[in-house]
């Protein structure tokens, strides 16, 4: 599954790799959203899955050039079934710029997820897409969605997550 996502993404992103990137901006983002979590239910005969929905909160740090964005991000949400959950990971996004103040992004993401109150974590990997609108030179709004598969094969472990979110993105000049 990961190879099916990564290979086309790298090919598309490589088209502009030699283009003049111009200046790179640092990014700090705060996001709120709707998080859906599919998880294993051991009590069901033969095993099974169930879904839980909740609000989420996230933070992300990254950088943006003309055609790419990269983030280190984390998000947290609460659900009665496993008390709380969080992810820590990264994302690489390709930007399609129809105008100077608006862009569409397509990306890949991966990291670790914890959905129970202990130290066990599982890997996740997925895709994301959305739009960015630059409100001012150093501030933008992002609306997006992401979906990820999780390697949760134990009791009360996430097997998939999906999210719709809105982010406030603060941009600053860097010396990268």
pLDDT of residue 175: 63
Q: In which band, very low, low, confident or very high, does the pLDDT at 20 lie, cut at 50, 70 and 90?
A: very low
pLDDT at 11 over 60: no
Q: Kindly report whether the global pTM for this prediction surpasses the value 0.85.
A: no
pLDDT of residue 73: 95
- Mean pLDDT over 17-46 rounds to 77
Better-predicted residue by pLDDT, 14 or 82: 82
Q: In which band, very low, low, confident or very high, does the pLDDT at 122 lie, cut at 50, 70 and 90?
A: confident
Residue corresponding to tokens 């991000």 = 73
Contact 76, 86 (CB under 8 A): yes
- Mean pLDDT over 12-37 rounds to 74
Neighbours of 39 (CB within 10 A): 23
How remote is the C-alpha of 85 from its chain's centroid? 15
pLDDT of residue 167: 97
Q: Where are the domains of the chain?
A: 2-16+30-173
- For 148, the token pair is 């990820």
- Mean pLDDT over 148-170 rounds to 86
- Helix, strand, coil percentages for the chain (3-state, nearest 5): 5, 65, 30
pLDDT of residue 114: 85
User: How far is the C-alpha of 51 from the C-alpha of 111, rounded, in Å?
Assistant: 21
- Mean pLDDT over 18-25 rounds to 63
**Which one-letter DSSP state was computed for residue 44?**
S
- Mean pLDDT over 137-165 rounds to 88
CATH class of the domain defined by 2-16+30-173: mainly beta
CA nearest neighbour of 58 among 117, 24, 109 = 109
pLDDT at 14 over 70: no
The 3-state DSSP class for residue 141 equals strand
**How big is the CA angle at 72 (ends 70 and 78), to the nearest 5 degrees?**
130
Q: What is the pLDDT of residues 92-115, one digit of tens each?
A: 999 999 998 999 999 999 999 887
pLDDT at 2 over 80: no
Q: What is the pLDDT of residues 46-56, one digit of tens each?
A: 667 778 889 99
End-to-end CA distance of the chain: 33
Calculate the alpha carbon distances from 48 to 54, 113, 145 in Å: 20, 20, 26
- Mean pLDDT over 58-70 rounds to 95
User: How far is the C-alpha of 109 from the C-alpha of 69, rounded, in Å?
Assistant: 12
């Amino acid at each position: 599954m990961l190879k099916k996502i990564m290979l086309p993404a790298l090919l598309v992103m490589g088209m502009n790799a030699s283009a003049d990137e111009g200046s790179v901006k640092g990014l700090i983002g705060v996001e709120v959203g709707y998080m859906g979590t599919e998880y294993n239910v051991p009590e069901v005969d033969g095993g099974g899955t169930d879904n839980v929905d909740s609000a989420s909160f996230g933070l992300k740090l990254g950088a943006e050039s003309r055609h790419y964005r990269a983030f280190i991000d984390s998000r947290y949400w609460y659900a009665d079934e496993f008390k709380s959950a969080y992810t820590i990971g990264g994302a690489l996004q390709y930007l399609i710029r129809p105008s100077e103040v608006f862009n569409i992004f397509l990306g890949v993401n991966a990291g670790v997820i914890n959905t129970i109150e202990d130290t066990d974590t599982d890997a996740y990997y997925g895709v994301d897409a959305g739009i960015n609108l630059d409100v001012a030179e150093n501030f933008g709004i992002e609306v997006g969605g992401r979906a990820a598969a999780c390697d949760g094969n134990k009791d009360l472990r996430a097997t998939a997550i999906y999210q719709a979110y809105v982010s406030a993105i603060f941009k600053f000049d860097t010396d990268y």
